[in-house]
Amino acid sequence: MPSARRTPAERRANCGSARWGSIVTPRLVLREFTMADIEAYYELESNEENARYQDWLPRTMDQARELVLANIQGSSACPRSTWELVVECAGRMIGRVGAASTQLEHDSSNRTTNHVDLWFSFLPAFHGKGYATEAMEVFIEVLSQGQDADVMELEIECDPRNTGSWKLAQRLGFERHSLTRRAWESKGEWVDSLVYRKVMEGGI
């Protein structure tokens, strides 16, 4: 399988409207979803620990099927602005990583900026072993190579009680941007919103 190192033409194909090819790291494979991933996605998203700091309750099998199908359909969008990939270890789905890109207005220097919201979710058994860091590092690298903008503003937002998420943001070189108290109501309680950001030069 190909590694994250690609020619400019390959990067353009990988990061445009086409479905991505597999991305290989020392321990992981990142790839697009297929319908064969429904049960593994359900195992990941029906987990109460993973849903603890999210807006949704643990997913049902029907919801898992709908979300996998939505990911597959979204991967063929043209232009493509949302990416979500399976993260595999030794042939098993252990998590997922995703991004949604929005182009902002030109700044005073007439440079374009893409704002990219990032997310990730991993099975609890694989927490604390560096898998999320490894996956997100290569995901961001390949994503940045395909952004058609001068600047890429990356953002990770989380509930501040979710220490695993904001510590991962710090490991990835993100800086604390804001903390909003009682940002919204989720599952019957008011929750805070912690935002980390990182600015990178974009473009292919």
Q: Where are the domains of the chain?
A: 8-201
pLDDT of residue 98: 98
Kindly tell me if the per-residue pLDDT of 72 is higher than 90: yes
The CATH homologous superfamily for domain 8-201 is Gcn5-related N-acetyltransferase (GNAT) (3.40.630.30)
- Tell me which of 54 and 168 has the higher pLDDT: 168
Kindly tell me if the per-residue pLDDT of 135 is higher than 70: yes
Mean pLDDT of 141-169: 92
Kindly tell me if the per-residue pLDDT of 14 is higher than 70: no
Kindly tell me if the per-residue pLDDT of 163 is higher than 90: yes
Kindly tell me if the per-residue pLDDT of 1 is higher than 50: no
- Residue 18: pLDDT band (50, 70, 90) is confident
Torsion angle defined by CA atoms of residues 40, 45, 49 and 54, in that order, rounded to the nearest 10 degrees: 160
For residue 14, give Cα distances in angstroms to 21, 138, 139, 145, 186.
Answer: 7, 13, 12, 9, 36
Q: Are strands 151-158 and 113-122 parallel, antiparallel or unpaired?
A: parallel
pLDDT of residue 6: 43
Mean pLDDT over each residue of the chain, to the nearest integer: 89
pLDDT of residue 106: 67
Q: Residues of 85-105 as b/e, b for ≥16 C-beta within 10 angstroms?
A: bbbbbeeebbbbbebebeeee
Rounded Cα distance between 146 and 148, Å, is 6
120 CA to centre of own chain: 5
pTM, 2 dp: 0.86
